[in-house]
Structure 1
Amino acid sequence: MTTRRHLLAGVGAGIAAAAMPACGWAEVGAPNWLSAARLPDGPHVLCGLRVDGTRAFTLPLPARGHAGARHPTQALAVAMARRPGTFALVIDCATGRVRAELGPPEGVHFNGHAAFLAEGSVLATAEQNAQDSAGQIGLWDSTSWRRIATWPSGGIGPHDIAALPDGRLAVANGGIATDPTDRRKLNIATMRPNLTVLGADGQVDAVLELPDLWQNSIRHLAIRADGHIAFAMQWEGEATAHVPLVGLWRPSMAAVLAEPPLAEALRMQGYAGSVAWSGDGQHVAITSPRGGRVQVFDAAGRYLHGTDRPDVCGLAPDTRGFVVSDGTGAMIRIGDASPALLARHPLAWDNHLIPV
C-alpha cells in the first residue's frame, strides 16, 4: 500500500506546479457553485454559478454528470459521470478545454464523487469493483493526471467522499452491491453501510456503523470547518418505517441522529439526496427529490423547519443559510426568512451543487 511519504514524493512535482501562477476562480467569473445539468434539447453540461444565481460559464459534458470536485486554487473542475461511471473530465473552466479524461481500471467504475487532497496535488475518486461492489479510492496526480495509488474504501459501494480539515478522507460506503449494467440492488437483505475515515496513507482511522439502521444507506457528506461531519442517508427497508435521514458525527464520538416530527419525516419518503452545513455552520439541511422537501436542523440535530420544492436535490451553503436547485431550473435561497427565488434557468439541474 502506498504510504503518505511515498505518495507525496510521487506528486512533489505536482505540488510545485500547483504553486506556479495559474488561472484562479476569480478569473472565470468567481463562481460560488458548480452543478451538472441537462439542457432542454438533451445535452448535458457543467455550469459555474455566481452568488446571484447567474451562470459564470456553461461547458459541455459527454453524458449525464453527477457531482465532482473543484481544485482549491486553480480554476479546474473534475466532472464525474453518474454511477456506474466510466469518465471523469478535468476541465479548465477558463477555456472550456478538457485537460484530461480519466477512466477507471478494467473491471472498476466510478461512483459519482471525487475530492482533492494534499492542497490540490492529489485527486481522489470514489470507485467500486464491478464484480462484487467492493469499494476503493483511486488517487491521481493532479499535474500529470496519472493514477498513482488505490486504497480500499472500507466498505461496499462507496458514494460520496470528502476531505477533512486535517487531511484525512471521509467515505460514505452505502453498503449496497449493485449490478453494473442496470444499477439493480443485489444485497438489500444483507447490506452493511458505514462511514469510514481514511488516514493519509489509506489506513482506516475510524468507522461509524448504525447496527439498528443497517438498511439506511449512508450516501452523502458535508464537512464543517472544524471537521464535524454531517451525513445523509437513504432508507432501503419497509416503506412505512420512520427513520432518521441525517446524522452528525465527530470521529471517536457517538453519532447524533436528527429526527423530525413523524409527519415531517414521512414527507421525505425515506430519501435524502444532498446534505450541507449552512455558511455560518449553525444549521444543517437535507433535500429529498422524491418528497419535494427541504429540511433544516440546528447543529445539535433539532428540527427547525421545512420547505416544499418540486424535484429538489442540489444543496449548498450560502452566507447564513442555503441555496437549493431543482429539476425545473430554479435556484432558491433558504434562510431564516421565507424562501426566495434566486434565479431560474432553462435547464434541469442535476443532483448536486458543489461549493467553490
Structure 2
Amino acid sequence: MVTDNTRRSLLKAALFGAAYPLVGCTVTSKQSSAPVLIGCSISGRDRFNAVVADSAGMPLRQIALPERGHGVAANAALHHAVAFARRPGTYFQVFDYQTGESIKLRVADKNRHYYGHGVYSNDGQWLYATEGERGSSRGIIGVYDVVAGYEKVAEFSQFGLGPHEVIVMPDDTLAIGVGGVHTNGRKPLNIATMQPSLSYLDPNGELIEQVGLADNKLSIRHLAHDGSKTVLCGQQYRGEPDEYPSLLAMHTLGEALLPLKAEPEQWARFNHYIASIAATDEWILATSPRGNCYGIWSKHTQQLVELSPLPDASGVVVQGDEFRVSSGAGSVISQAAPGNKVTARSGVQWDNHWSVIG
C-alpha cells in the first residue's frame, strides 16, 4: 500500500535528489555500445536499479531506483525509458537511457498505486500505466502526457479489479491483463470470487471486448503480441496446489481464448506462474522465475516443444529474429528456435522483465 510516509520519502527524493541517487553510471561492455535492452535489477539488500544493455544483454549503464522495479517501457523517439515500481508500486521513474540522466520521479497519487507495468502509445505521445484504487483494487489505466512532463490527463476504468500488464497493439488498441484480484498490499482477499479477464480498450478508453478463461482461478497477468493481431497472455493459477492447468493462452479479437498445450507434469514445472512472454511468427516463449525454467511453444500447433531449466528465468524479448532471455542468476540466453541457444554471462541480477528499444 502507498503510505503517506512512503509518498513523502519519494517526493523528497524527487525534490532534492539526495535520498536516492538518480544518475546513471556506465558499465564497460565488450559488445556494441548502442542501447537496445532495458530491465530492472537487484544489486544487493535494498539496492535496485534499471539497467540499460546492448543487443547481447551486456550492461552499459544503470540507474538507481528508490524501490524495487518491475516492468520498463521505452520511447525511442525521445530516448526516454520508464521503470515502474513493483506492485503495490509507489512510483515510476523516467530517465534518458542514452545518458542515464533522471527526467522525472512520479509518485503515485494519494489514493492510487501502480501495478508494475506501463507502455507508450505507438506515436510516443502518451504513457499508459496500470493502476489500482487503494481500498478497492478498482482497475485504472492512468494516461500521462509525455510532452507535458508526464502530467496525468485521464483515467480509464470500468474493466475490472487488479490490472497488471497493459500493451499497445499495432492498431493503437490497448490490451490489458486483468488479474481480477482485490488485494491488501500483496495479500489477495477475493480468491473465491475473482473475475480475471483479457480486456481491450480503444484509445479513448472505451471497452471493446472482454474475454475470460473457463477457470476463474487463472489470474490473467502478463501479455505480449506477435506484431500483428494475436495477443498472448500468461496466468498465475490461484486454485488447488496439486492442479496444473494451462498457464498460457492466445487470443484474437472476436474469438475465444485458446489455451496452449503441455502435459500436466510439464505445467507443474512452471509452479503456477508465467512471467514474461514474447512471440515471433513461429514461436512463443514464456518464462517462470518461480519454476526456474522457460518454455517454447509452436504458434501453429499451440504445443510445447521445448522446456529448458534456467535459474530465476525472468525477462524475454524478441530482438531481430532471436529471443533474448534474462535470468536473476545473471545468464542471458540468445535463441532463435527450439534446440539452438547460446548462453552468456551478463553479471547482472536481472529482475522480472525486459523491454526492447525500437
Same fold flag (TM > 0.5) = yes
Q: Which amino acid aligns with 1:93?
A: Y
The residue aligned with 1:6 is none
The residue aligned with 1:71 is 75
1:148 is aligned, of 129, 134, 153, to: 153
Whether contact under 8 Å (2:95, 2:104) holds in the other structure is yes
Q: Which amino acid aligns with 1:147?
A: K
1:23-172 equivalent positions in 2, closer than 5 A:
29-40=33-44, 42-144=46-148, 145-152=150-157, 154-172=159-177
1:217-232 equivalent positions in 2, closer than 5 A:
217-232=219-234
Q: Report the CA distance between 1:321 and its aligned residue.
A: 3.7
The residue aligned with 1:307 is 308
Q: Report the CA distance between 1:42 and its aligned residue.
A: 4.6
Partner Cα distance (1:348, 1:354) in 2: 16
The residue aligned with 2:261 is 259
Partner Cα distance (1:153, 1:91) in 2: 31
Q: Which amino acid aligns with 2:156?
A: W
Partner Cα distance (2:99, 2:55) in 1: 21
Q: Report the CA distance between 1:257 and its aligned residue.
A: 0.6
Residue aligned with 1:140, SS: strand
The residue aligned with 1:294 is 294
Does 2:191 align with 1:185? no
Q: Report the CA distance between 1:244 and its aligned residue.
A: 0.6
What value does the CA root-mean-square deviation take over the aligned residues?
Answer: 1.6
1:206-221 equivalent positions in 2, closer than 5 A:
206-210=209-213, 212-221=214-223
Partner Cα distance (2:98, 2:35) in 1: 12
The residue aligned with 1:18 is none
Q: Which of 281-290 and 38-47 deviates more?
A: 38-47
Whether contact under 8 Å (1:321, 1:336) holds in the other structure is no
Residue aligned with 2:265, SS: helix
Partner Cα distance (1:268, 1:93) in 2: 33
C-alpha distance 172-329 of structure 1, shift in aligned 2 (>3 A): same
Aligned residues: 323
Residue aligned with 2:188, SS: coil
Whether contact under 8 Å (1:52, 1:343) holds in the other structure is no
- Cα deviation 1:135-174 (Å, max 9, x = unaligned): 0011111012211111106111000000010011111110
The residue aligned with 2:28 is none
Partner Cα distance (1:52, 1:227) in 2: 28
Does 2:332 align with 1:331? yes
Q: Report the CA distance between 1:343 and its aligned residue.
A: 2.7
- Cα deviation 1:242-261 (Å, max 9, x = unaligned): 20111010011122110212
Q: Which amino acid aligns with 2:290?
A: R
Q: Report the CA distance between 1:221 and its aligned residue.
A: 0.4
The residue aligned with 2:3 is none
Partner Cα distance (2:268, 2:204) in 1: 41
Whether contact under 8 Å (1:81, 1:112) holds in the other structure is yes
The residue aligned with 1:274 is 276
Whether contact under 8 Å (1:248, 1:256) holds in the other structure is yes
Residue aligned with 1:351, SS: strand
| TM-score, normalisation: structure 2 | 0.87
- Cα deviation 1:172-225 (Å, max 9, x = unaligned): 110111103xx1111111111001000011000011111x21000100000111
C-alpha distance 130-272 of structure 1, shift in aligned 2 (>3 A): same
Partner Cα distance (1:98, 1:63) in 2: 15
Whether contact under 8 Å (1:31, 1:50) holds in the other structure is yes
Partner Cα distance (1:155, 1:221) in 2: 17
C-alpha distance 199-337 of structure 1, shift in aligned 2 (>3 A): same
The residue aligned with 1:23 is none
Q: Report the CA distance between 1:282 and its aligned residue.
A: 1.2
1:205 is aligned, of 199, 205, 208, to: 208
The residue aligned with 2:323 is 322
The residue aligned with 1:17 is none
